[in-house]
Amino acid sequence: MADTTASTRDLGGIHDDYMALTRQKRLYSLVLLIIFVALMVAGFSVAGGRNAGSFWGGLDNFFDYPSELVIEASGKLSEFPAHFVTFFPALVETVNIAAAATLLGALAAIFLSLLSTRGMARFPALIPVFRRLMDISRAIPEIVVALVLIFILGGGPVPAMIAIAIHTAGALGKLFSEVNENADLKPLDGLTSVGATWGQKMALGIIPQVAPNWLSYALLRFEINVRASAILGFVGAGGLGYELKNAISWGQGRYDEAAAIFLLLFITIVVIDQTSSHYRDRLTHGAKSERRS
Amino acid sequence: MTMLDTADLKGSADRVMSRKRIVSFALPALVLAYLTYVFFAFGVPDLIAKASGANARTLIADTYSHKVHVTRDNRNGAVRVAIEGENKGTYPDGEGPAWVSLDDETVIDLGDGHIITYLPENNGVTYNVPGYGLMTFEVSRSQGVIQNYPTDDTPDWINASKNRVAVTTEAGRLSITRNRTEVFRYFVGWELFFFTLDSPYHGMGAGEVIRRAFGGEASAIAHDFWSNKMWRHGDVAWAIFETILMAFLGTMGGAIVALPLAFLAARNFAPLPAIRVATRRLFDFIRGVDALIWTIILSRAFGLGPLTGALAILITDTGTFGKLFSEALENVDKKQIEGVQSTGAKPIQRYRFGVIPQITPVLISQILYFLESNTRSATVIGAITGGGIGLLLTQAIITQKDWEEVSYYIMLIIIMVIFMDWLSGLLRRKLINGNEGGQ
């Protein structure tokens, strides 16, 4: 009897405690929300104050440029095929920068990731060194390397390619080593027992396990790198971005060229995105069904 | 029967093996062929021939050293001592560092016995190189630079013509033209990093500065450091803040805009299939247009500045977040929603308690991941829209001489990105573990 009353009292206490906890949690959420909203508002007003044009004024003009572009370009539709032909080499250059950078970056990432994964590393003592190397090359924005290399090598696609490759090596290296950590190490033991060298162990024991996931990440990176290569072109590294900069600086009267480049860039990005996501889908689903069986 | 089967099996195994063998040779060969094509398409051999070794050397030397110019104007005889030859680093008239004595004769001691003297008559200069001898020069309006060397044939570290002379030794560099005589002496380190010459704290030891800071001069010291004209610490700090601000506003704004749209694009929440398809196409379009084109369009409408950069990130991320969030919503577990519904919850409560708790971990981790990567994008976009550290960096690179500032900015950018990486990782762990505990 006494026990029951005690437990009811306890239950009441638990209920009160729970409600107090909920109230406290709500209060914290509210405070966090208020801080967040205040940060956003203050941030936008600070950024707006430092801007050349105001936000509301800009909002009215938002469609001015695109509509001018469309109106002028639609009057010269017949010239579009010629523009496409003119700018096609630049497009190829942009895609080549991205592809070569992804390839070189991925090759470096393979070695960096194998050298920095426990259980696979050739020199286990150097794992932290290779990790920091990846962190640093991931942290350097492409534009920094590109601008410095443009000063030394002169403008063109190579500085952009090297810059993107360095960043790719770091970014893919991290993702690759995460994949490596999930790989089964037993094939390595088997290969070690028959006297395989480190290169053979990696090529025969690890790479067949992780290749689909690596490829999928590399394809995703390729999508990102196409965009990066277009942007770097804009700061002087050749390709479609460079042509775009020239075309828009000519201003009115030459909008048809700018529009043609916009269109080319848009189509390229959409096509590459779609193709790569199709193949990534196949790669990851294939890998999943293998893992299940 | 079994014989046939084994024969079949062996045949198919052989085919698989030979295909694999071909692939394992063809793939590297293809990669190699492609790289060779790119090598020539990008004109690498030409590039190597044209690459400027001198530029690379200046760049590397400048990143860890600075030079002090001692310049005489040969038209009026005025001598000026300036760090990096900049107005901001010029010593007051009649003053200079200890190794330059400014009297009638200006004697410049480059160390190791290298002495250069600016003589008052006829714009004369003498340079004593140990182990070589004393060179004398005079500048005349009509005859150019009159040169006297201790040996008949000039060594290759002297570059002389009728109107100009350049002597480069390991101690420094002397150049004479009709209009001016200039000596460069190189020092390791970044000069004037803390205080410029016009500050009373220049040349003071760290201990002395700290003692004075406690003695009530803290605000004056901070002001002199913060408004350092050479390194502009205040402007640089503000630029870093602006870059992080652009990334923050863009990422958070993009997430706020994308979340409601993602409900329209998710298969299990879309009110109408047509709306779902339209929203998806909108996301695809926004992502396809790409940050570069958005940046250009936005800078036409909003002018140059950080707001434009923030909006460019916001719009691009809306497309990406919309796609990611709608995928997260499609993977939501129905049971939890039904459970909430069974207690008589209204639709809005079903979303609040049935859906949101399930997707928050995904949302938060994606947002934080993008916050870090957008810090890098904000640097690049800042270079185009004119805001933040990206702008300072491009300006410093365009001048092609302040490489110590360039390397300083690069270091700051790397530290900034690593800091944001660390911060987003920390928040991700705290917030997501906290949520899992709370659920």
Question: Is the domain of A43 the same as that of A140?
Answer: no
Pick from A17, A33, A61: which residue ends a domain? A61
Are A71 and A55 in the same domain? no
* Pick from A82, A90, A101, A89: nearest CA to A242: A90
Q: Which residues of chain B have a CB within 8 Å of the CB of A39? A: 248
pLDDT of residue B246: 92
Once rounded to an integer, what is the mean pLDDT over residues B80-94? 76
Greatest mean pLDDT among B115-119, B130-134, B359-363, B367-371? B367-371
Does A59 contact B at CB distance below 8 Å? yes
| Cβ-defined contact of B379 to A47 (cutoff 8 Å) | no
Q: Please check the confidence at residue B143 and state whether its pLDDT lies above 70.
A: yes
Shared-domain flag, residues A130 and A17? no
pLDDT of B195 strictly over 80 = no
Residues A91 and A12 in one domain: no
- Pairwise CB contact (< 8 Å): B252 & A40: yes
Q: Does residue A251 belong to the interface with chain B, where contact is any CB pair within 8 Å?
A: no
Q: Do residues A144 and A246 share a domain? A: yes
Identify the residue among B40, B313, B376 best suited for mutation to test binding to A, counting A beta carbons within 10 A and taking the highest: B376
Rounded Cα gap, residues A79 and A209, in angstroms: 51
* Same domain as A169, residue A53: no
DSSP-derived secondary structure for B37-53: HHHHHTTHHHHHHH--H
Question: Which residues of chain B are within 8 Å of residue A262 when distances are taken between CB atoms?
Answer: 293
Q: Which residues is B172 bridged to in the sheet?
A: B169
- Amino acid B352: pLDDT: 81
Check: CB of residue A64 under 8 Å from CB of residue A238: no
Mean pLDDT on B206-230: 76
Nearest-by-CA chain A residue for B35: A100
Nearest in space to A180 (alpha carbons), one of A209, A219, A222: A209
pLDDT in tens, A131-189: 999 988 888 888 888 888 888 887 788 999 999 999 999 999 999 998 998 888 899 99
Average pLDDT, chain B: 83
Of the pLDDT bands very low, low, confident and very high (cuts 50, 70, 90), residue A1 is very low
* Cα within 13 Å of Cα(B117), Cβ side: 13
User: Could you say which of A50, A58, A244 has the minimum Cβ distance to residue B387?
Assistant: A50
Question: What domains can you pick out in chain B, each with its CATH number?
Answer: 67-188 (no CATH), 192-225 (no CATH), 233-438 (1.10.3720.10)
CA distance B299 to B386: 9
CB contact under 8 Å between A51 and B42, yes or no, is no
Dihedral sign from CA coordinates of B413, B417, B418, B419: positive
Q: Please, which pLDDT band fits residue B2 given cuts at 50, 70 and 90?
A: low
pLDDT at A104: 95
Both A93 and A13 in a single domain?
Answer: no
Question: What percent of chain B shows pLDDT beyond 90?
Answer: 11
In this prediction, residue A31 carries a pLDDT of 93
pLDDT of residue B3: 63
Q: Are B316 and B294 in contact (CB under 8 A)?
A: yes
CATH number, residue A258: 1.10.3720.10
> Is B126 in contact with B119 (CB distance < 8 Å)?
yes
State whether A14 and A33 are in the same domain. yes
Minimum distance, in Å, between the CA of residue B303 and any CA atom of chain A: 5
Please judge whether A235 and B384 are an interchain contact, meaning their C-beta atoms are less than 8 angstroms apart: yes
Pairing of the two strands B144-148 and B65-73: unpaired
Give the three-class secondary structure for A122: coil
Q: Which of A54, A147, A270 is nearest residue B284 as measured by Cβ atoms?
A: A270
Residue of B nearest to A228 (CA): B292
Size of interface A-B (CB pairs under 8 A): 180
Least confident range from A59-68, A205-214, A250-259, B8-17: namely: A250-259
Contact with chain B for residue A211, Cβ under 8 A: no
| Tens of pLDDT, residues B312-357 | 999 999 999 999 999 888 888 888 888 888 988 888 888 888 888 8
Contact: B300, A65; criterion CB under 8 Å: yes
Cβ–Cβ below 8 Å for A50 and B305: yes
Q: How confident is the model at residue A289 (pLDDT cuts 50, 70, 90)?
A: very low
Last residue of some domain: A25, A40, A61?
A61
Question: What's the pLDDT score for residue B416?
Answer: 92
Residues A144 and A18 in one domain: no
Query: Does B202 or B165 have the greater pLDDT score?
Result: B165
Mean pLDDT, residues B126-134:
82
Work out how many domains chain A is built from and give that number.
2
Q: Which residues pair with B101 in a beta bridge?
A: B107
Dump pLDDT digits (tens) for A85-141. Answer: 888 999 999 999 999 999 999 999 999 999 998 888 888 899 999 999 998 888 888
Interface contact A151-B414, CB threshold 8 A:
no
Give A104→chain B minimum CA distance, Å. 9
Give tens-digit pLDDT for B176-194: 888 888 888 887 777 777 7
Q: Is the pLDDT of residue B226 over 80?
A: no
Q: Do A180 and A243 have their domain in common?
A: yes
Tokens at A121, concatenated: 């590393």
What per-residue confidence (pLDDT) applies to B424? 87
Mean pLDDT of B87-109: 77
- pLDDT classification of B403: cutoffs 50, 70, 90: confident
Q: In sequence order, what are the residues at sequence separation of 6 or more whose Cβ sits closer than 8 angstroms to the Cβ of residue B155?
A: B132
Measured distance CA(B88)–CA(B198) in Å, rounded: 9
Report chain B residues whose CB lies below 8 A from the CB of A47: 242, 245-246, 249, 305-307, 310
Q: How far is B365 from chain A (nearest CA, A)?
A: 16
Å between A187 CA and nearest CA of chain B:
19
Domain range for A149 is 67-292
Check CB contact under 8 Å for A154 and B52.
Answer: yes
What local confidence, expressed as pLDDT, does residue A3 receive? 52
Q: What are phi and psi of A214, to 5 degrees?
A: -55, -50
Q: Does A53 touch chain B (CB under 8 A)?
A: yes
- For residue A55, list chain B residues with Cβ-Cβ distance below 8 A: 302, 307
**Rounded mean pLDDT of chain A?**
85
Predicted local distance difference test score (pLDDT) of residue A6: 53
A215–chain B Cβ distance below 8 A for any pair: no
Q: Which one of A43, A61, A79 terminates a domain?
A: A61
Please indicate, yes or no, whether residues A81 and A117 belong to a single structural domain of this protein: yes
CB distance A143–B418 less than 8 Å?
A: no
Chain-chain contact of A139 with B417 (C-beta, under 8 angstroms): yes
Q: What is the pLDDT of residue B434?
A: 56
Contact assignment for B291 to A227 by CB distance below 8 Å = yes
Q: Are residues A130 and A247 in the same domain?
A: yes
Identify which has the larger pLDDT, A148 or A236: A148
With vertex at residue B253, the alpha carbon angle to CA B322 and CA B428, rounded to the nearest 5 degrees, is 80
Residue A293 in this model has a pLDDT that exceeds 60: no
Between A250 and B291, name the one with better pLDDT. Answer: B291
